Structures are given as C-alpha cells and as structure tokens.
Structure 1
Amino acid sequence: MATLAPHQPAELAPAHWTEGTPSDEALAHIPGEAGWPIVGNTFKMLSDPHGQTRRMIEKYGRVYKSKAFGGWNVALIGAEANEMVLMNRDKAFSSEQGWGPVLDKLFPRGLMLIDFDHHRADRRALSIAFKPGPMRHYAGSLNRGIAKRLDEWGTGEMRFYPAIKELTLDLAADSFIGIPWGPEADRINRAFVDMVQASVAPVRKPLPFTQMKRGVDGRAFLVDYFTRETHRRRAEGGGQDMFSQFATAEYEDGSLMPVDEVVDHMNFLMMAAHDTITSSATSLLWLLAKHPEWQDRLRDEVIGVTGGVDAQGRVRDLDYDDLGKLELTDMAFKEALRFVPPVPSMPRRALKSFEYGGYQIPAGAHVGINIHYTHHDEEYWDNPYTFDPMRFTPEQVKARHKYAWVPFGGGAHMCLGLHFAYMQVKVLLAQMLPRYRVELAAGDPDWQAWPIPKPKDGLKIALKAI
C-alpha cells in the first residue's frame, strides 16, 4: 500500500522540467540501469518498449529506474500502482510535469497537461461538448460519413490503417469542426502526424531537418488555423459541432475561455481523437478478422439491434439511443483496448516524496505506469495473449482489480472523449459488418508500439460482400 512521506514540498515550477530533479544519489536505492552513455535506454525503449519493460521487471522487480530521453524515470508496475497514480488522492503526482518534457513543445496546455483547479475548471467547461445534445449530432454525422466511405471502399483488398485514419480525420472535420476540410486536409493530417511522431523523437530540440522541427512547425500551422476559426465561431454564435461548443464554452462565472486556451484544447483533443481512435479501431478490426467466430457474433448483434439492411438494400443507421444495446460489441472493443491500449504508458512527476513497493521515491522524480504490461499481466488475466471478450462480463469485471484495465486512464484525468470513441467504433461496426466479412489478407502484422500503436504494414485486409 502506498503512503505519502512526511516531507511534502510545494509544487515544482511547471515550466522547468529539470528543476528539483533528484540526484543520482537520491535514487541510488532504487534498482535499475542507466544504459548507454548520453542516450541511456532511449533506443531500447523506442525499438522494443514492451520487451524492454519485461526484461527490466524480470531483472529488477515491479519498481525500477531507467534512464531514457535525458533523465531517470521510476517505473511503478501493476494495478495498485495504476490506482495510486491515476486517482492521485493526495495530489502527489503532476500530469502536467509528467507529460511536459515529452509534449510541451507540441501540445502545451492540453487537458492532459494541466492539473488540479485549472484542470477541473477547464474540464467542466469543455464537458458541454459531450452532453447528449451534441453527442446525438455527432452520431448522425458518424453514420452518414462512415456509410458513405464504406460504399466507396467496396470489396477487395485494402490497407485498413491509412484508410481508417483518413476517414477518422474526415469524420472529425464534420463532427468536431462542422466544415469540410477541402484542400487543407493533407496539410492538417501531416501536421498531426508530425506532432505525434515528434513527441518521442530522440532529438528534443527543434533543430533544422529534425522530427521535432517538423512537429513544432505542424503545431504552428494548427495554432494559426484554430485561432482564426475560434474567432469566427464566436462571431457567428457557435453551433452543434465540438469546436463551436469549445469556442463558446464558459466557466462557472460566465466568462469565456481565453482564445489561446480554446486553441490548445482543440489541438490536443483533435490529436487524441484522431490517432487513438484510429489505433483502437484498427486493433479491433485486426482481432475480429483473426477471430471470425466473434465477428459473426457481433454481426448478429448489430443486425438484431439496427435491423441490418432495409428493403432498398441500405444499411440502417445505429441510433444514439441504441448504443447501449450492443453489449457484445462493447465487450469486444474493451478486449481490443486491453490487447492494444492506444496509450501504452503514462508519465507523471512526483510533487511529494512517497512510498511504494517498499521503496521511498523522492519528490521531483519522474515516474510512470505501464498500461500495456498491466493489460497482459498474468496476475490479473488468464491467458493474457488470447482474445476473449468474455473477460468483460459484469461478473468478470467485478471480480478483477478495477485498475487492471485502464486504456482511458482514470481519476480526474480520465479521457474526456471516451464515450465519443465508443460511439465511433460502434457506428463503424454497425455500418461495416452487415455489408462485409473482414479477413486478413497478409497474415498477422508487426506492430509499431510507440508513440501510438499501429501495424507496420497498415493492416492488409480483404472485404467480402455478405
């Protein structure tokens, strides 16, 4: 059980990620390794993060330190560690200062990069975009957009990941922005890709020709775009799309959120929705193609809820009020999120010294939980590398540690858009499965683990008419 130590210094200055960092001597009692000179374990983490985690746990246990990306990180492994860090009951951990060294040049002041009262106020203001009224609007947009694109895909072989990535961006244009992208689509897509890839680039300064420079340039482009759009939305009085909801969001005192903060939140949430939903939808389609018996069960469930194909041969929409009826689909998606969590690990910074697993971790230490490892830990999951949606029956969920499954995080920083993610994936399957049978066209793909998982070959599938 984790306990806070008596020594509880004040919060560290958020702009200075190295200020107050514990010395090597202060961390000497924690087992681990520094890796190679200068780069530490950075390249090991980038090339095989899951394998590196397993090796470190086998060698040092469930609390260990590793030097990567310029400094020490203390890994805290297991469901109890997840609960302690994510619930953060004593305000001992900063999300802002954990993600800051990785994302501050790219996604500053996004909802994940602010803490405590600031985070609570902004989250409350932004939550208006996920109320039932706007969500019904998004559901209609998703059904229309996905149905149109699936008709365009037709039958035959395709690479699913780039196709669903493009579709997700187009859906975001409609649901999030409320306008067609037009000729700016490729530039916006490229900006998001550059920013996400830059988040784990070994070179952390935006030097010419580096990935970090491309990421910083991508951010500048999007800041300009969203700033102009925010002013326009406020002048026009808003709308049902997510951006209009953000642009006109008010704090409890009735004041509008500053334009630059609206821009930062929109930039961050677009990235989160775009890349994490793309990853999650891809992992689910991969697993359903590998397990046709589950694909058939989900197809039967979808048709039972929506009616499948109407008299004119068109696939019926999934109504917003019917989302909760897709129980097996919900369980299969949760199992896919367990199998391939879209955010494999989460960093934090200790604002106070604390004890965990028999070790005293000093204030200022960069710490992290490993979601992917916990999702495959035999302590919580039988046959963890077997796809089994029945793990998520109410009885199984109740019997398991609540924080053994945390694909959307937890506590105050639980993903604000998780219900939108469920909705988009359910609409995708409701439109897809009555039309097509999905098969793998090239066997199991290798997966790139970081920064957001994706199949290296794009996931080659074959769509066959039902």
Structure 2
Amino acid sequence: MATLASPAPHSSAPPRFTHWSETIPASAISHIPGEGGPPIVGNTFRMLADPHGFADRMIARYGRVYRNRAFGGWVVALIGAEANELVLFDRDKIFSSEQGWGPILDKLFPRGLMLLDFEHHRADRRALSIAFKPEPMRHYMGALNRGIAARVEAWGAGPMRFYPAIKALTLDLAADSFLGLPWGPEADRINRAFVDMVQASVAPVRVPLPFTQMKRGVDGRAFLVEYFTREVARRRAGDGMGQDMFSQFATATDEAGNPLPVDAVVDHMNFLMMAAHDTITSSATALLLQLALHPHWQEKLREEARAVASTGELAYEDLGKLELTEMAFKEALRLIPPVPSMPRRALRDFEFGGYRIPAGTSVGINVHWTHHSTDYWDEPERFDPTRFTREAERARHKYAWVPFGGGAHMCLGLHFAYMQVKVLMAQLLTRYRVTLEGGSPEWQAWPIPKPRDGLRINLAAV
C-alpha cells in the first residue's frame, strides 16, 4: 500500500522541488536498502551490461523497494503491479513525469507529451488527440495498407533480416501517415538523427562532448528541429496540408482556440516520430519472433487474416475482428515491452512498501520485471496469447501489463500501433510462412529492445 506522508492528499502546497537538476542528499534515502556501486560511475555499467539480470539480483537481495545509483544519481525502484498503479495512475499527483524523464531525455526530446505534467499535459494531449480521431485514422489506414502491401510484396521469398527491414518500412510509413509526403534526399539523415537520439538517451556520458554519443544525439535533435520548424510554417501557409498527422498537429488549437506555439508542435512531432518509429519497430519484431518460434500460432493468425481480409486489404471497420492477432501482439509486448522501465520524480513525501520516500526522490518502475513475474503470470517465459482473453484480463491486476504506460500518460498512439501491426500481419502472413534462420537471437535490452542479429528469418510463399 502507498500513502502520502506529507503534505496531505490534494494539498495545494507547491512542490519542494521544481526541476530535475535539483538533488536530494543521499542521506535522505539511506534508510532504504540498496547499494551505490563503485565511486563516480555507480551501477551504470552493470545495468547497461545486463539490466534485467541486475534488477533480478537487486530485488532478490533487497526486496521490492530498493535504492540504486546510476547515470549520475540515486533512484528508488518500486517493483510490482501495485507500484505500477501507484506511479502511473498517480491519483494524488505525487509524481512528475517531466522531472523523471528529464535527466534522460531533456537534451534530446524536451517538452514531448510524455515529459509534460498535470494541466500542461492535459491541455496539450487534448489538442493533439485530434490526430487520432476516426477520420484521420481512416486516412492513416489507407496509407498503411498501400505502403505495407507494396513493401512486403517487394521483400519476396527467401532469407532476410527483419529488424532493419521493418525499421525502414515504419520510417517510410511515418513519412506518409505522419507527414503526408515521401522522404526526400534527407531520408537517411532523418533516420540517423532518430537513431542517434535514442542511443544517446542511455549514454553513460551525459554531456555533449565532442565525439560522444550524446553529442551525436544533440546534433540529431538540432537537425530535426530545423526540419520540422520549416514544415510547420509550410503547413500553416496551406502548402501540403492534408489528413496526415503533422498537418493535424500544425493546425491544432488550445482550449482558447489559439494555435499551439511552433516550438511545441515541433517538440511533439519530434517525440512522436521517435516513439512511433522505434517502439513499433521493436514491438513488431517481438511479435514476429514469437510467431516464428510458435508455428501453430502463426497458422492461427494466418487463417484469421484470410477470413477477415479476404480481398487482401484490411478495412478500418474490420480491425476489431483480428482478435487472435491482438492477443498475440499483447503477449509479445508482455514478453518484450518496448519501454522496459519508466522513471518519475516524487514531488511530495509518500510511503510505499513500508518505507517513507521523501519529496525530490527519483523513482522508477520496472515494466519488464512485472511482465515476467510469477506473481501475475503462470509460466511467464511461455508464449501464450490466451492470457489476453477478456476473462483472463478481468481476473488479473490491471497494472500487471503496462507496455503503453497507464493513467493520464497512457500512450496517445496506442491504437495507431495496434492498427499498424494488424495491417502488417494481415499482409505478411497471407503471403509468407515465417521461420527463423539460426535460432532465437539475443536482444539488446535498452533503450528500446532490439535483436542483436537483426532477427534473421526466412520467408516462404504460402
């Protein structure tokens, strides 16, 4: 159970800490079990080497509330579905997402929707939600069907590395659905910029010194800010306006009817492109890996796709009919969540797991651990989409499965992710049978999971 220690719930007292750069002394959390690791670097390199193994060892030794020093500061880990609910649902507005993600993303994706709090977050989320209404979603559906069908057909039968292929495809789809235009000669630079920014988010060196990953990430952001700023001006002038997501964002208005500031549109688009591009790539790869490992489930999804998309194209109205595909996708997201952990910062004192945790403490939940815990899942390492029947979902703790977050910060684009993956599976599985080449690969766990060998598969025509 969690409670506020001070001040009382719903208090109007201002937070004692207003920016993530303000720190609390280590002595303030010394009563919480844990360890800081070697001088200067703390446990940073231990975590990067094996983040899931490191968490397992810490939980086994210290329990489900522990302190850890990494990436230049102390963090208190809160473990389990109850911790997920406390932090993500955040009934009493204890936790700041902005100050939690700040040390990781402030130089790379500042002011993205995930980095906003409370009223600012609510207002911008409302303005941006116009891009996910039924009419724009129907437009994206058409773009996804066209783009995925053409690319999957072009892959042809034979061996391939799926991860780089689907990464290239999702970037092209984002250009069509999100921007409403094909990539020009800047395509490789744009893709490189996103890759550099994501990798910089877990770089051990947190300042953009020359030749460091952080410097490459900061330079990538500068390039994209210039690119998107130019595009906002063009859309607002009426040039290239359409049903694409960027046009929706560029013309979105706040509650007073005023257009969002240009820099806000740019920051939101920059963050959304990263989130949609890299997380969908990771999630689709995780699903295809499981279908290759479990051919009987692959066949079930193939039969479902043939029954629902008999003409070869999936209609927007038929998305809900791909029930087995959605269950399999959810199970793949359980096994390999695209965001394995989520940080926050406490704005007020609170209690959890028998410990008083002071305001100003950086805290984190471990999505991957919860998704693999025997407390919530029978045989958690086994792929079993039937875990996601409606009956099974109702019987389980609501926050035992949180690949898209939860509460006010639930992923705004989660329905777009479902739509894209369903179209991909319908187009892919009705053309090819998928098998692995070389066995199940090792995965890089952070910052966004991906197979180290690119997921080597073989496609055989069906």
The answer for the alignment partner of 2:440 in structure 1 is 444
The answer for the alignment partner of 2:335 in structure 1 is 339
Q: Give CA-to-partner distance per residue, 1:421-442, whole Å, 9 cap, x none.
A: 0000000001011100000011
Counterpart CA distance in 1 for 2:448 and 2:308 is 32
Aligned length: 457
The answer for the alignment partner of 1:461 in structure 2 is 457
Corresponding letter in the other structure for 2:98: E
Corresponding letter in the other structure for 2:96: S
Of 324, 329, 350 in structure 1, the residue corresponding to residue 325 of structure 2 is 329
The answer for the alignment partner of 2:248 in structure 1 is 245
Counterpart CA distance in 2 for 1:151 and 1:18 is 50
Of 11, 33, 44 in structure 1, the residue corresponding to residue 15 of structure 2 is 11
2:417 aligned with 1:410: no
Corresponding letter in the other structure for 2:396: R
Of 181, 184, 189 in structure 1, the residue corresponding to residue 183 of structure 2 is 181
Counterpart CA distance in 2 for 1:153 and 1:257 is 41
Contact 2:17/2:359 (8 A) holds in 1: no
| Residue 22 (structure 1) shift | 2.4
The answer for the alignment partner of 1:366 in structure 2 is 362
Alignment of 1:67-466 (within 5 A): 67-236=69-238, 238-307=241-310, 316-466=312-462
| Residue 12 (structure 1) shift | 5.0
Counterpart CA distance in 1 for 2:26 and 2:331 is 40
Contact 2:16/2:359 (8 A) holds in 1: no
| Residue 23 (structure 1) shift | 1.4
Corresponding letter in the other structure for 1:463: L
Corresponding letter in the other structure for 1:392: F
In structure 2, the CA distance between the partners of 1:406 and 1:349, relative to structure 1 (3 Å rule), is same
Structure 2 counterpart SS, 1:383: coil
Counterpart CA distance in 2 for 1:280 and 1:184 is 26
| Residue 412 (structure 1) shift | 0.4
Corresponding letter in the other structure for 1:245: Q
Of 35, 42, 45 in structure 2, the residue corresponding to residue 43 of structure 1 is 45
Corresponding letter in the other structure for 1:456: R
**What percent of counterpart residues are identical?**
75
Corresponding letter in the other structure for 1:233: R
| Residue 187 (structure 1) shift | 0.3
Contact 2:235/2:250 (8 A) holds in 1: yes
Q: Give CA-to-partner distance per residue, 1:78-101, whole Å, 9 cap, x none.
A: 000000000111110000000001
Q: Give CA-to-partner distance per residue, 1:50-76, whole Å, 9 cap, x none.
A: 000000000000000000000100000
Corresponding letter in the other structure for 1:114: L
Corresponding letter in the other structure for 2:407: G
Corresponding letter in the other structure for 2:456: K
Structure 1 unaligned blocks of 5 or more: 311-315
Contact 2:16/2:348 (8 A) holds in 1: no
Corresponding letter in the other structure for 1:7: P
Structure 2 counterpart SS, 1:438: strand
| Residue 239 (structure 1) shift | 1.5
Structure 2 unaligned blocks of 5 or more: none
| Residue 263 (structure 1) shift | 0.0
Q: Give CA-to-partner distance per residue, 1:123-165, whole Å, 9 cap, x none.
A: 0000000000000000000000001001110010000000000
Corresponding letter in the other structure for 1:303: R
| Residue 13 (structure 1) shift | 5.5
| Residue 44 (structure 1) shift | 0.8
Structure 2 counterpart SS, 1:404: coil
Corresponding letter in the other structure for 1:426: K
Counterpart CA distance in 1 for 2:86 and 2:443 is 30
Corresponding letter in the other structure for 2:114: M
Q: Normalising by structure 1, what TM-score? A: 0.97
| Residue 251 (structure 1) shift | 1.0
List 4+ stretches of structure 1 deviating above 3 A.
none
